[in-house]
Amino acid sequence: MDIQPTKLVQELKPYTPGEQPQEPGFIKLNTNESPYPPAPEVLRALETYDLKSLRLYPDPLCMRLRSLLAIKHKVPMDRIFVGNGSDEVLRLLFQAYVSEGETIAITDPTYSLYPVLAHIFGAEVKTFPLDHEGNLPRFPDLSPYRLFALANPNPPLGTFYPLGQVESLVKGAPSTLFIIDEAYVDFAEEDCVDIIRRCDNAVITRSFSKSCSLAGIRVGYVMGPLDIIQCLYKIKDSYNVCTLSQLAACAAIEAEKYYQEKADLIKAEREFLTGELRRLDFKVYNSKGNFVFAETADGKALYEYLKERKILVRYFDLPGLRNGVRISIGTHEEILALVQAVRSFIPSLRDKSRS
């Protein structure tokens, strides 16, 4: 075939999502989905929707959803943009603000989509390694970097960076756009929304996929300065968020009590799992997400051992991460099954090391 994609696309290493099992019976703890169903209010909204109306286009501006988000976050409605999952929001931000030959900054490790987005638009990536506990390093002057993508809490370790620490970074490089990715922030104790009220070079991205149990409908959003939000409207698809997604997200906002209770359950289960794994001599990072990262002598062996027993966790074949696995927080029964399997894995690992 004579028709070839651009050189950038030919050389691109795509983002690899967590595996989706094609057979039943798996305990799925590999993609940070919620173990709980959407709120009853969400289910009722979808069940009572007149499906005949699907012949009509959705609201291209997500007006009702943005109005509810404005009330929730105390942010003006015109400073909120809604997208088809926070991944689309991130892609549009990179598309609007990153050009070929520029350099963006990220931590290492972090969400592996960021470098993919940078390379799509021809940018270079500068990584700043976290310390041995997942904390931020001492940064140099960040002004040379066009954009800094900072997940907070930061996967796959789950480290949370306090508001004051993040704000000092933002204020220290006023010509750099800071994307503060708060996909997991509902499992932490604070957020960084106040930064966008005080700084004009930062945005906050959020997702309905994690704490709202709506990964399947793809809704995310970004809050930030008016000029940045207006840029995203220039380049978005005409109708980028479907009607049912908007409907479900609106209902989810109105079900705050239900989702807070589920987030509290996940946080309690996260602490339980952390304690159990540490008692088994795993290094477990202090996570504020709906997951933990646990290190042992051989992360791949643990991943494969668990998969054979129909428990899926996430293994990253990357420098600095090969000794561990990321484990999404499931129900108490799922976590108990995982812990039991891990206990049985440890003797097999010792036998392997002797051979």
Q: What percent of the chain has pLDDT over 90?
A: 90
pLDDT digits (tens, 9 = 90+) for 307-353: 999 999 999 999 999 999 999 999 999 999 999 999 999 876 555 55
The residue type found at 167 is E
- Rounded to 5°, angle at Cα 223 from 111 and 145: 55
3-state secondary structure of 104: strand
Per-residue pLDDT at 6: 84
Distance CA 231, CA 251 (A): 28
pLDDT beyond 70 at 253: yes
Q: Rounded to whole angstroms, what are the CA distances from 90 to 25, 111, 150, 261?
A: 34, 11, 12, 29
What are the residue boundaries of the structural domains of the chain, listed by start?
Answer: 7-37+257-349, 40-254
H-helix or E-strand spanning residue 82: strand 80-83
Per-residue pLDDT at 323: 95
pLDDT beyond 60 at 354: no
Query: Per-residue confidence at 23, pLDDT binned at 50, 70, 90?
Result: confident
The backbone torsions φ and ψ at residue 304, rounded to the nearest 5 degrees and listed phi first, read: -65, -40
Contacts of 330 (CB under 8 A, 6+ apart): 27, 28, 29, 35, 269, 338
Query: Per-residue confidence at 297, pLDDT binned at 50, 70, 90?
Result: confident
Mean pLDDT calculated for residue range 297-302: 93
H-helix or E-strand spanning residue 270: helix 256-279
Per-residue pLDDT at 21: 85
Mean pLDDT calculated for residue range 118-131: 97
What's the N-to-C CA distance of the chain in angstroms?
51
Query: Per-residue confidence at 19, pLDDT binned at 50, 70, 90?
Result: confident
Average pLDDT taken over every residue of the chain? 95
Checking phi first, is residue 218 left (phi over 0); if not, alpha (psi -120 to 50) or beta? Answer: left
Classify 7-37+257-349 by CATH class.
Answer: alpha beta
Per-residue pLDDT at 350: 53
- Rounded to 5°, angle at Cα 290 from 287 and 295: 50
3-state secondary structure of 53: helix
Distance CA 60, CA 62 (A): 6
pLDDT beyond 90 at 155: yes
pLDDT beyond 60 at 254: yes
Per-residue pLDDT at 349: 59
DSSP state of 159: B
In 332-343, which positions are buried (b, 16+ CB within 10 angstroms) versus exposed (e)? eebbebbbebbe
State the residue for tokens 């799925």: 28
Per-residue pLDDT at 320: 92
The reported pTM is: 0.95
pLDDT digits (tens, 9 = 90+) for 160-218: 999 999 999 999 999 999 999 999 999 999 999 999 999 999 999 999 999 999 999 99
- Rounded to 5°, angle at Cα 88 from 82 and 89: 50
Q: Are the C-beta atoms of residues 259 and 39 closer than 8 Å to each other?
A: yes
Fold assignment, 40-254? Aspartate Aminotransferase; domain 2 (3.40.640)
Per-residue pLDDT at 5: 87
Q: Are the C-beta atoms of residues 34 and 330 closer than 8 Å to each other?
A: no
Q: Are the C-beta atoms of residues 250 and 221 closer than 8 Å to each other?
A: no
Mean pLDDT calculated for residue range 285-295: 98
- 156 upstream amide cis, omega within 30 of 0: yes
Q: Are the C-beta atoms of residues 222 and 183 closer than 8 Å to each other?
A: no
Residue among 151, 225, 252, 208 at smallest CA distance from 34: 208
